[in-house]
Amino acid sequence: MLKKARAGLETGKGEDERSMSKAILKSSHQIWLAGLGAFAKAQQEGMKVFDTLVKQGETLESKTRQVAATTADAAREAAKAKARDMQAMAGGTWDKLEQVFEARVARALGHLGVYTSADVAKLTERVNELSEAVNALLKAQGVVRKGAETQGAEGARRTAKPRKRTARKAPATPRSVDTK
């Protein structure tokens, strides 16, 4: 339309100028109406577009939440695994430290002549064996009182003659216990 109006201006006719200005006005009016029509169409379809965008946003949001939850779960599991590893490593370190400490204490007590619980257990076992042997000998000789054989070491102590005890010094070094 504008090309026709320009072409008319270039020819220089007065009447053509009027028709030209009418054509320009008519053209601008049509452009204005087209804009209003586009606006009305946008209003009508705008709600549809808006609703479509909302649905797409909801879908995208749910997918994003699922991905975020999956990622968070994976990160949580990785953190728990790492914590278990660190706890196991720390526990192993404490166990090693405890073993070293116990070994040093046992060595120091050995240097001081203190018997260990294993030594005491061996001695207890040996005393029980000897008590049984003494009871058997006494029984064979007919010296054991009635019921003494069931009393074990306690019965042997009651039937044996008491000895005079003398004070003895503690040994400077630990003695090995013979369990033969």
Q: Give the residue extent of every domain in the chain.
A: 2-95
CB contact set of 106 (below 8 Å; sequence gap of 6+): 116
Dist CA 110 CA 72 (whole Å): 56
Q: Which burial class, exposed, middle or buried, applies to 10 when counting CB atoms under 10 A from its CB (0-12, 13-18, 19+)?
A: exposed
Check whether 4 has a pLDDT greater than 70: no
Instruction: Please report which confidence band the pLDDT of residue 20 belongs to, taking 50, 70 and 90 as the band edges.
Output: confident
Average pLDDT for residues 10-32, to the nearest whole number?
Answer: 77
What's residue 151's pLDDT? 54
Average pLDDT for residues 62-86, to the nearest whole number?
Answer: 90
Based on its alpha-carbon atoms, the radius of gyration of the chain, rounded to whole angstroms, reads 55
Let me know: does 110 contact 174? Beta carbons within 8 Å.
yes
Dist CA 61 CA 180 (whole Å): 82
Instruction: Please report which confidence band the pLDDT of residue 138 belongs to, taking 50, 70 and 90 as the band edges.
Output: very high
The residue with greater pLDDT, 168 or 29, is 29
CB contact set of 147 (below 8 Å; sequence gap of 6+): 155
